[in-house]
Amino acid sequence: MIRKLQITDITQVVKLHKNELSGFLSELGIPFLKKFYKVSLDIPEMFTYVEENNGHILGFTSGVSRTKGLYKKIIFKNIFYLIVPLLSYFIVHPLKVIKTLKILSYPAFSEDIPELLTLVVKKEEQNRGIGRKLFQAVSEEFEKRKLREFYVSAYERLPANGFYRKIGCRLDRSFNFLGEKMNYYKCRNN
Ligand SMILES: CC(C)(COP(=O)(O)OP(=O)(O)OC[C@H]1O[C@@H](n2cnc3c(N)ncnc32)[C@H](O)[C@@H]1OP(=O)(O)O)[C@@H](O)C(=O)NCCC(=O)NCCS
């Protein structure tokens, strides 16, 4: 069953995020991710859907209707809440401060566009149509928000590129992000 993220799902969602996604949020660690998803429940621009079966989260997806300033907004609005996991992470990994600052150069953070931020299906549940269902939930949510197009990015090395093409997204552009080729897809609501 596809439904919106609830606070009680966060432990499972974070585990999935950490295990299956290699992006910068994963690098910030589990305590940060837990707080990030908790805080996201109060950010109207952001939404997360989960596929749940008997209390098990099999996959989830997050989208945002406006990318500009999203992370700054999340972090600075909740600085007292997020500062402890962030500082603990940077004390253990001081060189990551520079990388994290470079992440803010991600093009969508200066543009104001709707974006599918994450889409993950548990490894043993992949290729059973869950990714498509979750993608559809995001697409419908954007439609409700009167947004006819949205974007999604994927590192070139990821098999997910094949999924996005299969599902009907079109390559809009590619760019170099933190030393790796990243593809940016444009997707339309049905
Ligand atoms: C990408 C991902 C979400 C797809 O989820 P999924 O549940 O396995 O996908 P589905 O079973 O719904 O597949 C839908 C269609 O896409 C196709 N597809 C799935 N993965 C594909 C791939 N890597 N390459 C090409 N086509 C793919 C399926 O064959 C299916 O086609 P069909 O409808 O004609 O049968 C999943 O593989 C995943 O979680 N990957 C790891 C996390 C990740 O990289 N996420 C993207 C970050 S940008």
**Any domain includes 181:** no
Q: Could you tell me if residue 26 is inside a domain?
A: yes
Q: Would residue 144 count as lying in a domain?
A: no
Along the 190 residues of the chain, how does pLDDT read in single tens digits? Answer: 999 999 999 999 999 999 998 777 777 788 889 988 998 998 899 999 999 999 999 999 999 998 777 777 777 767 767 777 778 877 878 777 777 766 666 666 667 889 999 999 999 999 999 999 999 999 999 999 999 999 999 999 999 999 999 999 999 999 988 788 999 999 998 6
* Residue 159 forms part of a structural domain: no
Cβ-contact 58, 130 below 8 angstroms: yes
- CB-ligand 1 contact for 116 (6 Å cutoff): no
Question: In this structure, what CATH number is given to the domain that contains residue 124?
Answer: 3.40.630.30
List strand residue ranges (DSSP E) for 46-179, in order.
46-53, 56-64, 115-121, 149-155, 170-177
Identify whether 93 is part of a domain: yes
Ligand 1 centroid – CA 50 distance (Å): 16
Q: For residue 133, give the ligand 1 atom closest to its CA.
A: 12
Residue 118 pairs in a beta bridge with 62
**Number of domains making up the chain:** 1
Instruction: Please indicate, yes or no, if residue 9 is contained in any of the structural domains.
Output: yes
> How many Å apart are CA 41 and CA 48, to the nearest integer?
8
Range of the domain at 121: 2-134
Residue 189 pLDDT: 82
Distance CA 28, CA 74 (A): 14
Distance between Cα 160 and ligand 1 center (Å): 6
